[in-house]
Structure 1
Amino acid sequence: MFSKLPIDENFTGKPSRKKPMFPVNERLHAFLKQHGREVKLPVAYRDLQRFTYTLPLTDKEGKPTMWESVVYDKREWDYLREGLVRIYAILKTEGDMSYSKHLDVARVDYCAFGNSQPFRVRIVNKFNDNYDHYYIKVADASRIYGLELEHMLSPNRITFFTHNQTLVEEHIPGIPGDVFINQHLDRPETNKIRLAKEFVKFNERCFVRLLGDMRSYNFVVDITPDIEDFQYRIRAIDFDQQSYEGRKNLYLPQFFRQNFPLVETALKYLNKESIEQYQTEERTMMTFRLVSARYRIKELLDIMGKDRISTPEKMRQLSEELSSFHHHNQHLLKCHNMGKLVKEHLKVCLRKNLFLIPRFKGRFED
């Protein structure tokens, strides 16, 4: 795709200013409960909204961030504190509190920027001051679909739980993409060839499963030491824009202006054949993941296909752009729901790879 779609300097790469929250319907609730995602939580999102005031939060260099630390009155805090530690135990030890006596809540942060307005909870080990984070958000249906598809179709596994209209997500570690581009990309130890390969694969993953708005601050770069060098993994951390937008290019990270340094790195260090090889590798791996979890994915996509997670105008625009300007496949125009479009798009993108797997060939159209 990189070889066919050059950088478009005129593309602003701006998704909708305010995406609406879509409620979790009964069918999706039943799916989450069946697969162990629906868990009774001691603290709900609305409980955290009862803070008294906020304080600006700065980074290690004293620069302002998009987060604010929230402060509660003592009675409220005593109630929340115990519940927040219990939620961390649910995330990490399936609710076993015997390992939580040395844990405490260091602080709770709030971000009014963006659609989800999350709370970030910092849990600290009182013995050695080591800390970890997790997030509490409103349970938006499109975000949950995005998390599930990431869990099943990407090389990453994600732990999250819901309870009624509350969503709890684990922290995804890594260097924020914008920080990596500004501070790490041009370091001498950065292996730009391996980084370019990973960005091509990340670009492919997002497009095939229609995950949008992957601007640099919506993904992280995970660096792993390897034999004589480093390996890189780019991971999405924001799933708010799962198959919502109508513009095709919003599902391709290569078109966002914030990502241009990574695109330029890919075009500099990879030729056309290498790019196509890495795209094929990623689609092949996605196909194997799809086959191994096909019943769960089919169940999720069937629910998604009857849910409302976008507007009719955006759905029509996306189906027309994918059909007319990319795949030249009229079947995409017959989709009248964004969930059905995601399912059909997966089939179109992975059809060639699916038919190479004998045990799945006859079940492809299920």
Structure 2
Amino acid sequence: MSQDPVISKKKPAFPVCPELDAYLETFNRKVEIPIFYEDLLRFSGSVVVYDNKEEDSLWVRVFYSDSDRKEIDLSLKRVYSILHSDGGDRIFQYLNVDAVDFCTFGNSKPFRIRVRNILNDNFTYFYVKKTDASRIYGLELEHMLSPYNLNFLVYKNTLIEEHIAGIPGDVFIKEMLPSCSESEKSQLAKEFVKFNERCMICLLGDMRSYNYVVIPVHDFDHVVYKIRAIDFDQQCYEGKLAIYRPQFFKENRIMVEMVRKKLLVDSVDQYKVEERSIVAKRILSSGNRLKRLVEIAKKDTISRPEHIDRLKKEIYDLTLDMQFKKCTHMGEILALALDFVRRNYEHVSMKQIIEKKIDI
């Protein structure tokens, strides 16, 4: 286990360039919404939100004046309808905005909106955040290259994200992992290896245990656990390669120890190859959408020059690919990393075809 990597204390929010804005409009991510992040900052008071153990959740529940509350509630219902339905107002009568929570922890300082269906008391959340180009790249890459689809909207300086359901990683490690069976721990170890590899390939950083969720899936007579990222603030920004590898964070130490105890080195290598192959297949099947996104990122400013210089050197040391040394933008490093995975997959696949003498 390496020393816990140090993350920059303050990451700036990068503006959306015209090319990325056009991309978002092409793929229906850019939709006009009736409320902006700044509108929600007009709250007149707040109270601390405690979790079920009466501990500070780091969220505060905010309140608005009577005159603002009616307008804000209506606008948030419309955002919910745009995000989850057809944008019409006929469902408004069945919706209630139960709470607007504000988080002062971290860079994004999001608002969490709880919307409830009054007919059956089912509820869901969505988040209102400040627009950040690097976060948008992270959301799009997760949508295309992970096993999961993501629903989000961007309009001017406001980003709307759907809620990703699951058990927060830190909560799972502390409260649920000790009671998992040995076979469940082995399966979790495998999933963590794959999650670690996928984050490194896609340059998604800061996957400490509270930035991902563990999702239990019931399959016949047993439970399968999946790990899914929920925070994309550190996409393609930091200069240390270790920050893009969840295994090096002290918050994940228990997961790393579990991998060491439950998996042989050959098994770890096998699961890494499996994940690289799956990502390569998604790259190939994503078509022009991924190509267009990466081409935009290659010219965009989403990191600092010193971070770019450090990361390209560290990735060169890992891959010995001279192309990384020529990069001047973080998007170029990302493009080469994805291309490196794709080329290796295609080379191995072609080699297997030749060795087996299969007619192409």
> What is the TM-score of this pair, normalised by structure 1?
0.93
Whole-angstrom distance in 1 between the partners of 2:348 and 2:287: 16
Partner of 1:137: 129
CA deviation map 1:251-285 (0-9, x unaligned):
00000000010011111111011111111111111
Instruction: Find the counterpart in structure 1 of residue 301 from structure 2.
Output: 308
Distance 2:309 2:181 in 1: 46
Deviation at 1:96, TM superposition (A): 3.4
Q: Please say if residues 247 and 256 of structure 2, whose CA atoms lie closer than 8 Å, have aligned partners that are also in contact.
A: yes
Partner in structure 2 of residue 19 of structure 1:
11
Query: Within 2, Cα distance between the matches of 1:43 and 1:334?
Result: 43
**SS of the residue 1:184 aligns to:** helix
Q: Deviations over 1:166-198 (max 9, x none)?
A: 000000000000000000111044710110010
Equivalent residue letter for 1:67: W
Which residue is 2:24 aligned to?
32
Partner of 1:298: 291
Q: Deviations over 1:90-110 (max 9, x none)?
A: 111131333342111001000
1:193 equivalent in alignment to 2:186:
yes
Counting only pairs closer than 5 Å after superposition, residues 286-365 of structure 1 correspond to structure 2 as 286-324=279-317, 326-355=318-347
Gaps of 5+ in 1: 1-6, 359-366
After TM superposition, list the pairs within 5 Å mapping 1:114-153 onto structure 2: 114-153=106-145
C-alpha distance 165-357 of structure 1, shift in aligned 2 (>3 A): farther
Q: Work out whether residues 51 and 57 of structure 2, in 8 Å CA contact, stay in contact via their aligned partners in 1.
A: yes
Aligned length: 349
Query: In structure 2, what is the equivalent of residue 362 of structure 1?
Result: none
Structure 1 position 347, deviation (Å): 1.4
- Asked if 1:73 corresponds to 2:51, the answer is no
Compute the displacement of 1:357 (Å). Answer: 6.1
CA contact 2:134–2:233 (8 Å) conserved in 1: yes
Give the SS at the match of 1:250.
helix
Tell me, what secondary structure is at the counterpart of 2:153?
strand
> Are the structure 2 counterparts of residues 175 and 133 from structure 1 closer, same or farther at C-alpha, using a change threshold of 3 Å?
same
Of residues 54, 70, 74 in structure 2, which corresponds to 1:82?
74
SS at match of 2:90: helix
- Cα distance in 1 for partners of 2:100, 2:180 equals 37
Secondary structure at the residue paired with 1:202? Answer: helix
Q: State the Cα deviation string for residues 208-260 of structure 1 (Å, max 9, x = none).
A: 01100000000000110112211111010000000100001000000000001
CA distance in 1, matches of 2:247, 2:332: 25
Question: Greater helix share, 1 or 2?
Answer: 2
- The one-letter code sitting in structure 1 at the alignment partner of 2:256 is V
Distance, in Å, in 1 between the alignment partners of 2:304 and 2:85 is 40
Other-structure match for 1:95:
87
Matched, 1:56 2:57: no
Which of residues 200, 213, 218 is equivalent to 1:207?
A: 200
Gaps (5+ residues) in structure 2? Answer: 351-360
Q: Could you list the per-position Cα deviations for residues 23-55 of structure 1 after superposition, in whole angstroms to 9, with x for gaps in the alignment? A: 111111100000000001011111101111111
Contact persistence 2:82–2:88 (CA under 8 A): yes
Separation (CA, whole Å) in 2 of partners of 1:61 and 1:118 = 23
Q: 1:356 to 1:295 in 2, by over 3 A?
A: farther
Stretches of 4+ aligned residues off by more than 4 angstroms: none
Give distance in 1, aligned partners of 2:77 and 2:348: 48
1-structure distance, mates of 2:34, 2:349: 45
Question: Which residue identity is paired with 1:49?
Answer: L
Who is 2:276 aligned against? 283
Percent identical residues: 44
Which SS does the other structure have where 1:124 is aligned?
A: strand
Please, which of 33, 37, 47 is the counterpart of residue 41 of structure 1? Answer: 33
After TM superposition, give the deviation of residue 130 of structure 1 in Å: 2.1
Q: Deviations over 1:54-102 (max 9, x none)?
A: 1111112221111000110011110010110111111111313333421
